[in-house]
Structure 1
């Protein structure tokens, strides 16, 4: 199933790698370098899935997830992060609690990304338990 995907990540190399993975699967991909930019883009366009990093400047992924749940409740969210823990909590666990449908730890494979994306797009698939 082809999807319109917005990748929000401050690292250009990560956005580029994820874009290549998704485009090879036939998906339409747009990119933003931080959450505020991504949210502004969503005022002008709609997407099926937002893939957001957690730790970014300007607006982080957790704030972006909160805003997406309010302003675009039907948009699926895939949270990604290379940081397993901050000093006090597991950020991907928290992302799931805030409303991310799936989470992936960086680095991930093409197969893991495609599986997570497919699960986000499957209307019968429940949200991943945090």
Structure 2
């Protein structure tokens, strides 16, 4: 079963993603910030990371950069809350690091699951 790490400082977002992904048969672990995400990624066999962009401790962009530097083949989906232009710019900008899929919150669960399936099939 694919192992997915969900990184978000909002516990409700983590719970929603966990429930959605586990329903599809994925094994899900969680981290509430980028620092814990790096630790969890390094200590587990993670197939895919879904990360929020704006978090305390270590933001999503920094987390993505570190994960990609150490693991160039890491598969990552980025999400961001709100609808300000800064959030959209961050989601566009993060694609420069190799993130293929980005979503704004609230996200469409079918779209996220389709992105998960696509990345895991590569």
TM-score class, shorter: over 0.9
Deviation at 1:120, TM superposition (A): 1.4
Q: Deviations over 1:4-33 (max 9, x none)?
A: 100000000000000000000000000000
Across the two proteins, how many residue pairs are aligned to each other?
121
CA RMSD of aligned residues (A): 1.5
Contact persistence 1:102–1:120 (CA under 8 A): no
Residue in 2 that maps onto 1:95: 94
What is the rounded CA distance, in whole Å, between the counterparts of 2:111 and 2:103 in structure 1?
Answer: 8
Task: Answer 1 or 2: which has greater helix percent.
Answer: 2
What is the rounded CA distance, in whole Å, between the counterparts of 1:107 and 1:99 in structure 2?
Answer: 23
Gaps of 5+ in 2: none
Residue in 1 that maps onto 2:33: 34
Residue in 2 that maps onto 1:46: 45
Contact persistence 1:92–1:103 (CA under 8 A): yes
What is the rounded CA distance, in whole Å, between the counterparts of 2:14 and 2:100 in structure 1?
Answer: 20
What is the rounded CA distance, in whole Å, between the counterparts of 1:46 and 1:83 in structure 2?
Answer: 31
Residue in 2 that maps onto 1:122: 121
What is the rounded CA distance, in whole Å, between the counterparts of 1:110 and 1:52 in structure 2?
Answer: 15
Gaps of 5+ in 1: 124-130
Contact persistence 1:83–1:91 (CA under 8 A): no
Moved more, 17-26 or 90-99: 90-99
What is the rounded CA distance, in whole Å, between the counterparts of 1:72 and 1:101 in structure 2?
Answer: 15
TM-score of the aligned structures, taking structure 2 as reference length: 0.92
- The structure 1 segments of at least 4 consecutive aligned residues displaced by more than 6 Å after TM superposition are none
